[in-house]
């Protein structure tokens, strides 16, 4: 089941946190709960991705994207991911979720997520996202213009460009 209560808590809590730019890093403190674990008493691999949703929601709310999406009737969609699991997180362990926009192209925003405990990276993911309307994907430049965003977004790292290019080569059949 999706952790709606925890998401609601995050969205309510964000109002007391400072706003930041698309280049800033969101850091959320979390704990592995009973509903997050698999039969081996560790954070389920799918739950890592669900927790990363929280990071993207935090970035969207603190940059003003969330208000813009609600105002325009737009939505958020994940369109690709690459995940690397390194170390286990056990029941009740605390950890930090670090999320940051690492670039964009004409259609996609790319997020890099890190799940860290005591300075040790347990999982990383590159997530390709889009803002959507009833007509399809909203171009990133239209989103930035609608936000009246004046700062430049950091240039997309080469490793992100390489992943995006490799992902486009993958057959759909």
Dihedral angle sign, alpha carbons of residues 44, 94, 8, 75: negative
Q: Can you tell me the distance from the alpha carbon of 167 to that of 115, in angstroms, rounded to the nearest whole number?
A: 23
What is residue 31's predicted lDDT score, i.e. its pLDDT? Answer: 96
Domain extent, residue 149, equals 4-169
- Residue numbers of the chain with a pLDDT score lower than 50: none
What is residue 153's predicted lDDT score, i.e. its pLDDT? Answer: 77
Q: Which letter, b or e, does each residue of 121-140 get, where b requires 16 or more Cβ atoms within 10 Å of its Cβ?
A: ebbbbbbbbbbeeeeeebeb
What is residue 15's predicted lDDT score, i.e. its pLDDT? Answer: 54
The enclosing domain of 102 has a CATH number of 3.10.129.10
**If you ran DSSP here, which 8-state letter would residue 34 be given?**
G
What is residue 96's predicted lDDT score, i.e. its pLDDT? Answer: 97
Tally of structural domains, the chain: 1
What is residue 134's predicted lDDT score, i.e. its pLDDT? Answer: 96
Under 8 Å CB-to-CB from 111, ≥6 apart: which residues? 52, 55, 56, 59, 99, 100, 101, 102, 125, 126, 127, 129
What is residue 49's predicted lDDT score, i.e. its pLDDT? Answer: 96
What is residue 10's predicted lDDT score, i.e. its pLDDT? Answer: 75
What is residue 16's predicted lDDT score, i.e. its pLDDT? Answer: 56
Under 8 Å CB-to-CB from 92, ≥6 apart: which residues? 31, 32, 33
């Amino acid at each position: 089941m999706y952790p709606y209560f925890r998401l609601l808590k995050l969205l309510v809590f964000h109002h007391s946190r400072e706003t930041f730019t698309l280049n800033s890093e969101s850091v959320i403190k979390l704990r592995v709960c009973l509903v997050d674990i698999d039969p081996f008493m560790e954070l389920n691999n799918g739950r890592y991705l669900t927790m990363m949703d929280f990071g993207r929601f935090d970035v969207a709310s603190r940059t003003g994207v969330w208000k813009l999406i609600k105002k325009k009737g737009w939505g958020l969609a994940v369109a690709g991911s690459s995940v690397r699991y390194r170390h286990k997180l056990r029941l009740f362990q605390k950890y930090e979720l670090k999320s940051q926009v690492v670039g964009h192209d004409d259609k996609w925003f790319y997020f890099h997520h890190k799940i860290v405990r005591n300075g040790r990276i347990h999982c990383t993911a590159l997530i390709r996202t889009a803002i959507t309307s009833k007509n399809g994907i909203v171009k990133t430049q239209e989103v930035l213009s609608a936000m009246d965003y004046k700062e430049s977004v950091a240039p997309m790292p080469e490793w992100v460009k390489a992943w995006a290019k490799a992902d486009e080569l993958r057959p759909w059949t």
